Amino acid sequence: MFTLIRTLPTHRLLREQLPTLSAAWLIAELFYKFHSFSLECAAMLATWFAFDAILQLARQQLLGRAPDPS
């Protein structure tokens, strides 16, 4: 997490990671009721990963190029 925040520019964090994190958090709050903080946290992180992967794949398909390394 620290590496993600440290290496990505602020504008990219706000543009790409904040919306996917917010959506994953909302899904977790509304639907994940495992009665275990660890399981709910892991599920939220997995949801964030999935949303980010889908977003990146969609961006690649729409733009027709490799992801931006910066």
Cβ atoms within 10 Å of 44's Cβ, excluding its own: 18
- What pLDDT was estimated at residue 67? 59
- What pLDDT was estimated at residue 69? 62
Q: How far apart are CA 25 and CA 52, in angstroms?
A: 13
Q: Quick check: 9 and 21 in contact, CB under 8 A?
A: no
Which residue, among 41, 39, 44, has the nearest Cα to 27 in the 3D structure? 44
Give 3-state DSSP helix, strand, coil % of the chain, rounded to 5: 80, 0, 20
Average pLDDT per 10 consecutive residues for the chain, totaling 70 residues = 86 91 96 95 97 93 72
User: Where do the domains of the chain lie?
Assistant: 17-61
Place of tokens 């639907």: 31
